[in-house]
Chains A and B, each alone.
Chain A
Amino acid sequence: MGQIMTKTRAAGRTVGGLRTLSLQAPAVTLLFLWMIVPLAMTVWFSLQRYNLLMPEMTGFAGLENYRYLFTDPALWTAMGNTLLLVGAVLAITVVGGTLLAVLFQQEFPGRGVARVLAISPFFVMPTVSALVWKNMMMHPSNGVLSWVAESFGLPAVDWFSSLPLTSIIIIVAWQWLPFALLILLTAIQSLDDDQVEAARMDGAGPVAIFFFITLPHLKRAISVVIMIEMIFLLTIFAEIFVTTSGGPGLATTNLAFLIYIQALLDFDVGMASAGGVIAIILANIVAIFLVRMVAKNLES
């Protein structure tokens, strides 16, 4: 009897296993190919002499591409720009998003509509938001910002030539602040009202409640926002492509744009791939933490 039981159970498991395999196979195989083939090719190309403009120059290059890249000041400028862009946008969106989440959690007439308006920029395609800002907001003579400055008697700012990176930061922050708000607003809604009420009874002011109850409650959501934004912000591309094209000089060239220049403008496959490998490594450092956190969440 017991033998039969174990036998059927074992058989059931194999059937289940086979079913699982066949059901998941398409998704897993496709994703595996999508990830591993280009990844292997990038690593391989990064070790080759491979320039589409110089077809006679081929062969194994070892770490030459990396050495060349690391001694090129453009890489360090691009890295610096990438870090500045990521850091500044993160600071603006996380601090701003937290404060706005608290604000839009309070009850006031028309709150629902106000929330929808504030979240909207996240759904605007990057090329549209970049061009609307570049032309209609930040244009030195006809933009709204210069009109506002002039009506206060201030000189108009030529945003993209005098403050190029700041301009990009403003545009990207405008797109991602609503993302942070959306996530944090969802998280803040699970805050226990009784706990807040009890603290208020005990004489805690709004500032104390924010720092000792709201902020600890949002800790987890804030770290999720930081990690997800980092992964996307590390390789911001479209906003730079349509506004400054990385200039003036290299002032707004980040890692993604540098790789694009090397690959599709200079046709240096080897160098671009080496840059790609660096981008992948950077993103993975962040990703490890995010995956760990999600894994912990899966268990609970």
Chain B
Amino acid sequence: MTTVKTKTLAGDGQAPAVSVLRTSPMRSARTRRLGLTVLGWAIACLIFFPIFWMVLTGFKTESAAIADPSLIFSPTLESYIEVQARADYFKFALNSVVVAFGSTLAALLIAIPAAYSMAFLPTKRTKGTLLWMLSTKMLPPVGVLVPIYLLFRDFGLLDTRTGLVIVYTLMNLPIVVWMLYTFFKDLPKDILEAGRMDGASTLQEVMFLLLPLTLPGIASTGLLSVILSWNEAFWSLNLTSSNAAPLTAYIASFSSPEGLFWAKLSAASTMAIAPILVFGWLTQKQMVRGLTFGAVK
């Protein structure tokens, strides 16, 4: 409408032509911006919808959960209370916490010395060692399911938290070493050099200089390791049954077809993913570094 008008005006004289040039790109920029906003938000909401719906369903009663989808209902905490009372939710949550944080702590303790020596005392073999560590990550777990299962059975590690901690520590060790290595390498060498000049031993150097200075990097490495262990579902489904089952395995027990417990499933799931969602949001940037082994920055 406006373009037609200005076009006819533009034929009459010079001045309106200038205003055409000025207003129409601005207007099209504005519509473009509006279009982008609508499209961006629509897609984001569409992708997020299943999570949103799950959180919503957790606050419904079981009968409301399987009724026709509706945004209007009277919210209740019934399912949250029942999940705890009937299924002993916190036992599984505790398993998840112990296994995820235990394996992360173990991986950090083993990885910090290794990453330190790789970053500050590099030899000709350092690069090869790093790549070799990375390549151990490429071994598909299902390829070694049988021997690990049998070894765990023989050593009495099946369905124990210790067993899962061992597996997760080793599973995440290459990524943890790799991420710590990249964070340590970013640290200016002079700082550690200065500490050494002042007579600090290697241990003091690590404890009082390296660790405090790279704390943000270490924290995001730790968080990534916690996220990966928390969400791991192959080993937890195959190596645990009731005692050491973490949340991934507990949630899987809702797949049995006996009755529909959608509200309880949703309540349990919401509690299971909430902390990890927050961790993930906090560490997105650094995660890319770890997940791609520094190949994408």
Contact = CB atoms under 8 A, between A and B. Distances in A.
Interface of A: 16-17, 19-20, 23-24, 26-28, 30-31, 34-35, 37-39, 41-42, 45, 100, 103-104, 106-111, 113-129, 131-137, 142, 144, 147, 174, 177-179, 182-183, 186-187, 190, 220-221, 224, 228, 231, 234-235, 237-238, 241-243, 255-256, 259-260, 263-264, 269, 272-273, 276-277, 279-280, 282-284, 286-287, 290-291, 293-295, 297-298
Given A34-B136, A42-B147, A106-B36, A118 B272 contact: no
B284 interface: yes
A155 B123 CA distance: 66
Per DSSP, chain A at the interface is: helix
Contacts of B294: 294, 297-298
A24 B117 contact: yes
B47 A174 contact: yes
B47 A124 contact: no
22 contacts: A23-B113, A23-B116, A38-B151, A42-B144, A108-B36, A114-B40, A114-B41, A114-B43, A116-B284, A118-B48, A123-B280, A125-B276, A127-B251, A132-B266, A179-B291, A187-B296, A235-B141, A235-B234, A276-B144, A284-B138, A294-B294, A297-B295
Given A177-B47, A298-B131, A186 B143 contact: no
Nearest to A113: B44
Contact of A120 (B48, B66, B140, B248): B48
Given A238-B234, A295-B127, 7 more contacts: A19-B121, A26-B113, A31-B133, A110-B41, A179-B291, A183-B296, A279-B142
B136 A108 contact: no
Contacts of A122: 280
Contacts, number: 303
A221 B146 contact: no
Contact of A147 (B69, B129, B272): B69
A68 to B, nearest CB: 16
B237 A124 contact: no
B129 A24 contact: yes
A142 B43 CA distance: 24
A142 B68 CA distance: 7
Given A24-B117, A136-B57, A103 B43 contact: yes
A243 B254 CA distance: 10
A110 B186 CA distance: 32
Given A26-B110, A241-B252, A276-B143, A182 B269 contact: no
A272 B234 contact: no
A125 B272 contact: yes
B248 A125 contact: yes
Nearest to B265: A131
A118 B134 contact: no
Given A30-B110, A186-B296, A280 B140 contact: yes
Interface string B136-169: 1111111111111111000000000000000000
Interface stretch (B9-17, B80-88, B187-195, B225-233): B225-233
Given A27-B110, A108-B40, A144-B69, A241 B136 contact: no
Given A30-B110, A187-B296, A125 B138 contact: no
B143 A280 contact: yes
